[in-house]
Structure 1
Amino acid sequence: MSSPSPSQSRDSIFAAPLGDIEGFRFNQAVVDVFPDMLRRSVPGYEAIITQSALLASRYVQPGTHLYDLGSSLGATAISMRDALLQIDPASSQGCEIHAIDNAPAMIRASQDLIALHEDQQDTAHPPVPIFLHEANLEEHPLSRASVVAMNFTLQFVNPAARASLMRKIADALQPGGVLILSEKVCFDDPVVNEMHIDMYHAFKSRNGYSDLEISQKRTALENVLVPDTLEQHRARLLDSGFTHCTVWFQCFNFASLVAIKR
């Protein structure tokens, strides 16, 4: 599924010299170009969203909550709901999808997109409802979950708060529940790390970003997006109460893991 979009505007936020570059923020300017930004900046983004939904349909349990944490425009939440329509209705009976984001501009745009998607539904049984919450992930309560998706969200959380957030998610999951965690990652081996960064910049360049855009956005994200290594993610997840963890997708320095609670 393609990420939903309020417009087809091209991302040119960093195309002109900016002088003093502010830290990256999910404001209205970003919302207006976000689908294009994701398509051109995140290798495998659409595959990750689609397969996150497929994982959700595999692990959903009746009467539970599914969470899209850091939901931005609601692509994961909508994709999960679509996937649940393709399975036995009894598997998702009584379920709810909760999409949570702390950026007001993202919540406003996702409200319109989810409503538009609902108007286009033509199904034999009612789709699982999606509820939007403008809230801080560290403060918003989570409960009775079977699936939690965090697609490119944890990297924006204060590193000191990441372990407690993972424990909070693990505690909210039912036995047999899963966390889908997609992140930009780094590598301890400096040669490997440099190779992945170079290939990622080549990916962005191939998608039409100039050297100036790549450089200025990198500066804007410095100290805002703080990546972990895959080993750090695995160790944190296992320490938080998950019993199994595996990487199911990786392209350059972007990866997605699935962690299972038994």
Structure 2
Amino acid sequence: MSSSRRYFIEFAYDGTNYHGWQKQPDAITVQERLEEGLKLLLKQPVLTTGAGRTDTGVHAKQMFAHFDLEKPAQIENIVYRLNRWLPEDISVFNLYEVGSEDHARFDAISRSYEYHIHLRPDPFFNKNSYILYRKPDFGLMQEAADQLLGTKNFKCFSRSKTQVKTYNCTVTEARFQIDDHHVIFHITADRFLRNMVRAVMGTLLEIGYGKKMVEDLDHIIKSQDRNQAGPSAPGQGLYLTKIVYPDRVPLHS
């Protein structure tokens, strides 16, 4: 009988200097840095499983991963110790001991993203938001975004050659928040496909600039063809902001 213990770790990162969350050869990733710190401080190999993956340059205001410890370890103060060790663009918030079957990816019931746009040069946004030098019609973009709500096949917004069992996602929120020169697109769903939010944003921007019509979005979704949708918006404007788990997963201090 295994005596291992499973933990959920909650953290955030600025993805500017990383090739996404997931480990890959010959590239620096957030997962690699986190596992290096855990291994050093807990004095045993640690393999993490993230709640999802983010692409190169994409940020996370809230991310979860789980890992198992096979040997007893000094877990006290690990959040403080990790934050002392990790680079300043990765921060750990909490560590929770959970059940052995709780899973950071498969147990998540919703995920929320924000896509940040700014409409004039700004030293506080230039690196972590997408600058538009010409203002699109956000009214038209919201009309189109309303068509995303519900359960649909979103293959048209998925990166090609992605192996998934289904392209269906249930979108429960898709709205623009406009605050002077700063615009945030909020989108929430039970799951997202690879590159989905960036492809959605790129398509909405084409509608906002008159390159596509609002009614085109329905045809694009039904086509299930990535080539019919717009180009992907840049990664630096995208933030994973919230992951929700069922109450049975004990995420409390």
TM-score, normalised to structure 1's length? 0.23
Structure with more strand by fraction? 2
Structure with more helix by fraction? 1
TM-score, normalised to structure 2's length? 0.24
Larger radius of gyration: 2
